[in-house]
Structure 1
Amino acid sequence: MMSGNALRDLNALPTFERKNDSSSKGNITKPCNGNTIENFEEHQKKRPVSVDINGGETVNSGVEVANLEVEYIESENLSDLEDVDTCLKKLLAGLDSKDWVLVVEALNNVRRLSIFHKEAMHSMLGDLIPLVVKSLKNPRSAVCKTAIMTSADIFSAYNDDLIDSLDPLLLQLLLKSSQDKRFVCEAAERALEAMTTSVSPMLLLPKLQPYVKNRNPRIRAKASMCFSHSVPRLGVEGIKEYGIDKLIQVAASQLSDQLPASREAARTLLLELQTVYEKSHGLSTTISEHPEMDTWENFCQSKLSPLSAQAVLRATNIPREGLVIGS
């Protein structure tokens, strides 16, 4: 008899991870055309199956699960919709369905609409985003990963139009990118990358900054990486407007973080800021009025505590020393 922990792990396994050589694949990615989902009757047929646990141990679950597998389609391989109007009418109901298969189909249709008909769906974003967030929280991995892929396509399509709805999406993606299932983490990281390249950094950085100080070290690390990737998109004038002193303080706070990813993101950001500072001393009126403070070292010491300034200078000097030695 299985232990309680093993049974809970078993029940948490998504359907696409359960393999049976005699099972047939249900197609849950067909574009919406007004008909019921293909092989839906097969979805209703349930029976005990053998599943893989922890990547090796195979046991008979003794529980009934849907005989379906999920195919994750990359954005460039998605096909257009056959009936846009019908899909729009059914979209919110599909996303809010209790049937996970219908939810996945609806999410993929959101992706298609974002790619091929984004103007038609634009007015629905306010109602749609909370349902995508709900799917991101779904314990079934098939729903969660499809919702993550949907988020990435929404970012690419709607850019800054999402800023008022970004907070709940951002939180869930940071959480998903920080958990243990690798295929979910990787999908969430790609969605965060789509976010940093699609949303204006001037709008995105204030949204990210609280998470850089989050109590969860993994969330801090992912947020720090996004922050570091977003800053260069500001450009020199954008950094001047945002405030290089604010940015250097954010980066300095991460240099002593417990996770290497946070520290590396901080070093990358500091090197970017150092390059911008040294190319343009006009980023601060204080600097221009006091030429003696024009060096990077003096600037750091004027904006940070002695310990933080020392850490920043050490982090930004080491790469340059390495280049000299290797030249």
Structure 2
Amino acid sequence: MSGNALRDLNVLAVPGLERKSDGSSKGSFIKPYIENSNEEVDRCQKDSEVNIGNNGVEAGNSEVEYIESENLTDLPDVDSSLNTLLARLDSKDWVSICEALNNVRQLSIYHKEELLEMLGVVIPLIVRSLKNPRSAVCKTAIMTCADIFKVYSDSVVDSFDPLLVQLLLKASQDKRFVCEAAETALVAMTTWVSPSLLLPKLQPYLKSKNPRVRAKASMCFSRSVSQLGLEGIKAYGIDNLIQIAASQLSDQLPESREAARMLALELRAIYDKSHASPGEDCTHLVDSDSWEAFCQTKLSPLSANAILRVTSTPKEGLVFGC
């Protein structure tokens, strides 16, 4: 993971005031609002403070419509949109940026191959929009990420790290409608990107100094492991995974602990299934092959007890490995 990504972990968006309109089949409208444009940054990061006025973001009366993926239509002039896309994504006009981001979404859905050739240049501009202090731009960029994950899946892995760190940050902030959009994008990521490629990307964030980032990464990690299946988990290493689950069980945030509990239960189910003989009840293994023996072999006594507490069946409440 790059140094820039690590430094970005300590960037938290400053909450603003936002208002949603009700009931539109295509999404919500963001009305004009006043937002605090200064972001807190790590001392090691020498970026200057973001100021809306100084960066050319204009306060206007324009409305931004958040269009759900299923309601996006094809572009009337694909060639023109492609030719001007990079310039518009790099614009200082926030309305133009939002329109360009929606064009990226339309191109990914209706013209996948044409956009694929530009993704290496487009993704850094999406990352810039994710960092934009104006929430309308940020949320539209997040929705763009979700569509890119769904359409391109593993093809974006090489450009993945900057997107991942920003989505974890946005999902960790207090601005609800941005946070919810980021969580939706993270679900799309764990759904469409192969777990064997995604898990190594997520693992460093499980040790983030930012507890909220750690929690969001834990939830993503648990969801991704559940898609590995028996052979995938065995290939990735159940020893490694149980140690990760044990470390997260003692995390300060309930979200991290719940993700660790779900991961531990998944691992137990896989372990019992893989060690049961044909026709044998997988909850009744010989002592040497029991889940209890495995945990006690691979973990410290304290960690093993923690895992066994959250994975024990009712019958094992009195005796483990019966």
Fold shared per TM-score above 0.5: yes
Question: Who is 1:236 aligned against?
Answer: 230
**C-alpha distance in structure 2 between counterparts of 1:220 and 1:307, whole Å:** 22
Greater RCO, CA 8 A, separation 6+: 2
The reply to whether residue 310 of structure 1 matches residue 296 of structure 2 is: no
The answer (yes or no) to whether the contact 2:131–2:166 under 8 Å persists in 1 is: yes
Q: Based on CA coordinates, which of the two structures has the bigger radius of gyration?
A: 1
| 2:106 equivalent to 1:142 | no
**3-state SS of paired residue (1:138):** coil
Q: Which amino acid aligns with 1:301?
A: Q
Q: How many Å apart are 1:317 and its aligned residue?
A: 1.3
- Superposition deviation, residue 107 in structure 1: 0.1
Q: Which residue is equivalent to 2:267?
A: 273
Distance 1:70 1:161 in 2: 30
For 2:138 and 2:275, the matched residues in 1 are separated by 47
Q: Which runs of 5+ in 2 are unaligned?
A: 1-13, 22-30, 37-57, 277-285, 318-322
Match of 1:294 among 289, 301, 304: 289
Q: Which residue identity does 1:303 align to in structure 2?
A: K
Give the equivalent residue in structure 2 for 1:77: 71
Q: Which has the higher strand share?
A: 1
Match of 1:285 in 2: none
Alignment map for 1:63-74 (pairs within 5 Å): 65-74=59-68
Change (3 A) 1:318 1:264: farther
Write the distance in 2 (CA, Å) between the matches of 1:196 and 1:50.
Answer: 33
Q: Is the 8 A contact 2:130 2:137 kept in 1?
A: yes
How far the C-alpha of 1:281 sits from its partner, in A, is 2.2
Identify the match of residue 119 of structure 1 among 108, 113, 126: 113
For 1:62-211, what aligned pairs fall within 5 Å after superposition?
A: 65-211=59-205
Paired amino acid for 1:253:
S
TM-score when scaled to structure 1? Answer: 0.77
Indicate the structure with greater helix content: 1
Shift of 1:52: 8.2
The offset of 1:240, in angstroms, is: 0.7
The question of whether the paired residues in 2 share the 8 Å contact of 1:12 and 1:140 is answered with no
Matched letter for residue 224 of structure 2: S
- 1:247-286 equivalent positions in 2, closer than 5 A: 247-281=241-275
Give the aligned length: 266
Contact 2:32-2:61 within 8 A present in 1 as well: no
Fraction of identical pairs, as percent: 69
Q: For 2:100 and 2:234, locate their aligned partners in 1 and report how far apart those are by CA, in whole Å.
A: 43
The separation in 2 between residues aligned to 1:137 and 1:258, in whole angstroms, is 27
| 1:65 Cα deviation from its structure 2 partner | 2.8
Change (3 A) 1:51 1:146: closer
Partner of 2:40: none
